[in-house]
A and B are shown apart, each in its own frame.
Chain A
Amino acid sequence: DAKTTQPNSMESNEEEPVHLPCNHSTISGTDYIHWYRQLPSQGPEYVIHGLTSNVNNRMASLAIAEDRKSSTLILHRATLRDAAVYYCIRAGGTSYGKLTFGQGTILTVHP
C-alpha cells in the first residue's frame, strides 16, 4: 500500500510548467512528503521533500496543501530530460528510511 494517489500519466510541452498532483489524504503528522523520479533503465533520483511549508530547490518546487492531504510537484519549465516516472511518497515517523514506491506518474514531454 503506497498510501498516495497519483495520476497514471501526464503530458506537457517543452518549456511549459508542469504540475504533478499527489493525494495523501491519510497522512500522519510526522510523515514527510518525498518526490523521486526515475528515468528509463536508471535508478530513481531524489527531487524534493517537505513537511508543511512549500519548498523550492534547483530542480522543482513542492506546494503542500494547508491540510497536508495533497501536494503538487511543480517543474517550472519542462525539458525533454524531465520525461520520467515521478513518485510521490509519504514516509516518516517510525518507518525510518523505508520508502514505499507506488506506481507513480509517467510524465511525457513533447518538443
Chain B
Amino acid sequence: GAVVSQHPSRVICKSGTSVKIECRSLDFQATTMFWYRQFPKQSLMLMATSNEGSKATYEQGVEKDKFLINHASLTLSTLTVTSAHPEDSSFYICSASRSGLAGVPRGYEQYFGPGTRLTVT
C-alpha cells in the first residue's frame, strides 16, 4: 500500500511553453502533498506544500506564479511549470502524506512518487 504515481516520467519541452506534472496517491487519501526539485548530484529541495482544497504554501525563493500547484482532490495534485526555461530542467518529485496513522507524527511519513525528469530545450 501507499503508492504514489507521477505522470509523465519524462518530458521534453521547448523554452516558453508550459508543462503539467500530475501526482496521484493510488491507494490512500493524501491530506498533504509536497513538491520537491532535485538538480543533478544535489539533494532534494522542497518547493511547496499543498493541502487539499487550499492554496499551496511556497518555500522562500520559489515563484508561485511560475510553479502553479493545484490540489483539487485527496488523491491528485498537479504542478504546472509555466513559461519553462532551460534552468527549470530538473527532476521534480512529489510526495504525499496521510493522516490518522497511529504513532506516526502527522505529515512525516511521506510516500514519494518516482519523479518526473523535465528537460527544457
Q: A interface vs B, CB < 8 Å?
A: 2, 32, 34, 36, 38, 41-46, 49, 87, 91-92, 96-104
Closest to B115 in A: A43
22 A-B pairs (CB sep. < 8 Å) = A32-B108, A38-B44, A41-B115, A41-B117, A42-B115, A43-B4, A43-B112, A43-B114, A43-B115, A44-B44, A44-B95, A45-B112, A46-B109, A46-B111, A46-B112, A49-B104, A49-B109, A96-B106, A97-B97, A98-B34, A99-B110, A103-B43
| B108, A91: Cβ atoms closer than 8 Å | yes
Q: B interface vs A, CB < 8 Å?
A: 4, 6, 32, 34, 36, 43-46, 49, 91, 93-95, 97, 104-115, 117
Across the A-B interface, give the 8 residue pairs with the lowest CB-CB distance, nearest first.
Answer: A97-B107, A43-B112, A101-B44, A101-B43, A43-B93, A44-B112, A43-B115, A96-B107
| A49, B105: Cβ atoms closer than 8 Å | yes
